[in-house]
Each structure stands twice: as C-alpha cells, then as structure tokens.
C-alpha cells in the first residue's frame, strides 16, 4: 500500500462556509499561496456555482497555483460541473469534485430521490466530469449514515464511470473512531475495483471525533485525508490539518505512512488564517494555540528547563513556533523564576531567590499576570547586591524589545 497520505485542504471551501470565516478573492489567493508553501497536495478552492465571487476566486487560485492540485466542488448537476470546469480549466493540475447524498434520511427528505435515481445521477455526473477532466473525485455525502450495501454499490458504479478518488464523509460528525475504521476496512473488502481508486475521508467535529476518525481511517488504509487549517468549517468544524499531520509525525511507529507537509509552516499558516478571518485560535488549541508550548506549573517548568522532552512531545520549532514559553504565575516554581531572572540579566544567590520568590508569589496570587518590569522591581527590592552594568534599570519596553515577555 502507498505510504503517502494525500492532504486535501478544504479551508477555502468547507472552512470558509463557517459563519464569520468568509474570504474575498484576494484573501483566498493569499491563503492558497501559503497552502502551497505548506505543501498540501490538494487545495479545494471553493464551490464555483455558489456565487460569482466564489467562481472568480476558484478561477484565480487555479491560475496562480503551480504545484498543488486545485479542486472545485460541484453537485451532480451538469451546470454545476460545467461551472466548476470553467473555473478550473486553466489550472496546472485541475480536479472536479462532485457529490451526492447517499443516506436514507438525505435521500428522502433533502433530495427526494430513490437510491436508484441517486446512483444513476452519480454515474452520469462522474462520466461527464471525466470527459472534461482526468482527475475526478466523488463524495458520498453522509456516508456514515448510509446503508452499507447501497454505499458499496454506488462506489463501485462511480469507479466504473471513471472516478479515481472516492471520498467517505462523516458529514454530521456521527461516527465513532472504531466504527469509522471498520467502515474503511469494509469498503476495501466489499467494493469491486476499489484498488483502482484512492480512498479519501472527510470528517466533521460535531462530537469532537473528527481527527480521531481521520486517524483511524488512515490506519485502516485511507490514503487521502480532507481537513482544514485550525479545524474551521461547518458547525463544529472539520478535522484540523495540523493535528492529523503532527499525530503521524510524532507517532511514526503507529503508521506505515506519512504526509509531505512542511510542518514548519503549520504555525505561520494558522496565523495567516487568523489574520485574514479575524478569528483567533483558542489558546489551548493543540499544535498552534498560544498555550501549546506554554508552561506555568512549577513541576512542568522545572522538567522542561532540565529537558524539554519531559513535557513536550514535539519541539516548538518543528511546527514553526519560536521556542516554548514559561508563563510566570502563582503555580510557577523557583527554577522558572530564576531562569527568568537570568534572562533579565539578574543573577541571584539562593537566599535572595527565596525572598524574591516569596514576594513574587504574593503578587501572583493577587493578579493574573506578572510582568517583567514587576519581576525586576521585586528583585531590586530583595537583592543583597545590585546586578552589574546597571542592567537592573532596564524598563519594560526595553525588555519587550529584547524579546522577553
């Protein structure tokens, strides 16, 4: 089995559909350029028929992208496919991505179609898309709530029609990780011709399992994963690209495969998305959150100062973060405080450190943050000897400019 997992980034399509994350043409182009620097394999640039703005954005991303495949989403309607191809045709590597719902609840209440009608429409759409573009992906919307026998049937039919990528979406985030892994196994075992297609997954986070479901699918043989930067997307969002990539990179012995993502670009990509959308990442977000490499508890700080591996399973630099962060607060210990004092040019003896630490903890109990200026002030008032070279006179702005906060 191929050891390369294709990363299909849908930040510009599914991610942008989330309330508050709308991007204009210029912003989509900027974001796509950064996704190329991140080395994603596929950029899903939008839903061309959705609006004139979306069409123009997909067209411009397609024109400017050089190394990544550019995909456009479309329903199984002929005019959707035509509009997608019109936007994609100038791409170096275009892909038409067409979909139809396959679950009973979607067929009955949304599409009002029978299974036979949905199958016929899917085959017709894939054949037509294939006549325009060599690279065609088919998605069975709401696959995890679909009748298995029908799912086998429609996937086999679209393979025969020319689809080279089959996407299995957990559209409403309903699946549990072990169930989703079992589904991928069953598809490999029961869909004729599946060896001729790439099996893809697209997981939502309604129950908080999107990344776990994606990882389970990869472990069972899925070789394309659809995800977004910062996990943005409809409702509770999509599987977070950075979490999937670093799970595989940090636990290589658990997988016989990897992505080609340039992990050092993960944090810069996350930051750019936040800047463009105006929506900050929550501080405790794994990999790219402000606290991902921050330590406040004294026991943790002491361990990290002695050897970062005690509490960090990846280096900050490996994802593009410039070092870890020791947050000094009421939970901090003497070693962390002494390390900060050293950074500030204050080298104190054991007795002075104890006095400084006692005053520091009093202040830390009274307020959320203790600034470098306040630490300097406490130290100056409790040191037996002033530090050399007049460094104790440094001001807060000077310390901030030195990169210490």
pLDDT value at position 120?
98
The predicted model gives 109-130 an average pLDDT of 98
What residue ranges define each of the domains in the chain, with the CATH number in brackets?
A: 6-277 (3.20.20.70), 294-401 (no CATH)
- Alpha-carbon distances, residue 251 vs 19, 72, 181, 230, 254 (angstroms): 34, 33, 18, 20, 6
pLDDT value at position 113?
98
- Residue 394 above 60 pLDDT? no
Percentage of residues in the chain with pLDDT exceeding 70? 95
Q: Quote the tokens at residue 318.
A: 């490996």
pLDDT value at position 1?
62
What is the distance between the alpha carbons of residues 158 and 165, in angstroms, rounded to a whole number?
10
The predicted model gives 271-276 an average pLDDT of 98
- Residue 23 above 70 pLDDT? yes
The predicted model gives 243-255 an average pLDDT of 97
Selection from 149-153, 361-365, 400-404 with the highest mean pLDDT: 149-153
pLDDT value at position 185?
98
- Residue 390 above 70 pLDDT? no
- Residue 350 above 60 pLDDT? yes
Question: Which one is predicted more confidently, 373 or 262?
Answer: 262
Whole-structure pTM value: 0.89
| Least confident among 70-74, 187-191, 374-378 | 374-378
- Residue 386 above 60 pLDDT? no
Condensed to tens digits (0 to 9), the pLDDT of residues 213-238 reads 999 999 999 999 999 999 999 999 99
- Residue 388 above 50 pLDDT? no
- Residue 385 above 70 pLDDT? no
- Residue 396 above 80 pLDDT? no
pLDDT bucket at 364, cuts 50 / 70 / 90: confident
Query: How many angstroms from the chain centroid is the CA of residue 215?
Result: 13
Condensed to tens digits (0 to 9), the pLDDT of residues 141-196 reads 999 999 999 999 999 999 999 999 999 999 999 999 999 999 999 999 999 999 99
Question: Which one is predicted more confidently, 295 or 177?
Answer: 177
pLDDT value at position 339?
87
pLDDT bucket at 403, cuts 50 / 70 / 90: very low
């Amino acid at each position: 089995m191929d050891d390369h997992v294709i990363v299909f980034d849908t930040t510009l399509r599914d991610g942008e559909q989330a309330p508050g994350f709308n991007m204009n043409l210029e912003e989509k182009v900027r974001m796509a350029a950064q996704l190329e620097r991140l080395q994603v394999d596929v950029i899903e640039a939008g839903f061309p028929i959705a609006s004139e703005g979306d069409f123009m954005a997909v067209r411009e991303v397609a024109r400017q992208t050089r190394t990544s495949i550019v995909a456009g989403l479309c329903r199984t309607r002929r005019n959707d496919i035509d509009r997608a191809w019109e936007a994609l045709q100038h791409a170096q590597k275009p892909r038409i991505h067409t979909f139809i719902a396959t679950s009973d609840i979607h067929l009955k209440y949304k599409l009002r179609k029978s299974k036979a009608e949905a199958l016929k429409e899917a085959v017709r759409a894939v054949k037509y898309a294939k006549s325009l573009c060599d690279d065609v992906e088919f998605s069975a919307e709401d696959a995890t709530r679909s009748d298995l026998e029908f799912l086998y049937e429609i996937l086999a039919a679209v393979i025969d029609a020319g689809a080279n990528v089959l996407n299995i979406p957990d559209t409403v985030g309903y699946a549990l990780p072990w169930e989703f892994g079992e589904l991928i196994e069953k598809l490999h075992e029961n869909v004729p011709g599946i060896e001729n297609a790439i099996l893809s997954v697209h997981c939502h986070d309604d129950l908080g399992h999107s990344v776990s479901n994606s990882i389970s699918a990869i472990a069972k043989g899925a070789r394309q994963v659809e995800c977004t930067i910062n996990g943005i997307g409809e409702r509770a969002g999509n599987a977070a690209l950075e979490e999937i990539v670093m799970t595989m990179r940090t636990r290589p012995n658990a997988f016989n495969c990897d992505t080609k993502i340039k992990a050092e670009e993960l944090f810069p990509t996350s930051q750019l998305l936040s800047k463009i959308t105006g929506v900050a990442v929550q501080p405790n977000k794994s990999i790219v959150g402000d606290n991902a490499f921050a330590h406040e508890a004294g026991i943790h700080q002491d361990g990290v100062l002695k050897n970062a591996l005690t509490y960090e399973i990846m280096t900050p630099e490996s994802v593009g973060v410039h070092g870890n962060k020791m947050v000094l607060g009421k939970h901090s210990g003497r070693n962390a405080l002494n390390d900060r004092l050293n950074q500030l040019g204050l080298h104190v003896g054991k007795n002075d450190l104890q006095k400084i630490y006692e005053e520091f903890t009093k202040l830390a109990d009274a307020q959320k943050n203790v600034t470098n200026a306040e630490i300097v002030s406490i130290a100056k008032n409790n040191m037996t000897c002033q530090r050399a070279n007049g460094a104790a006179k440094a001001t807060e702005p000077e310390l901030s400019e030195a990169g210490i906060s």
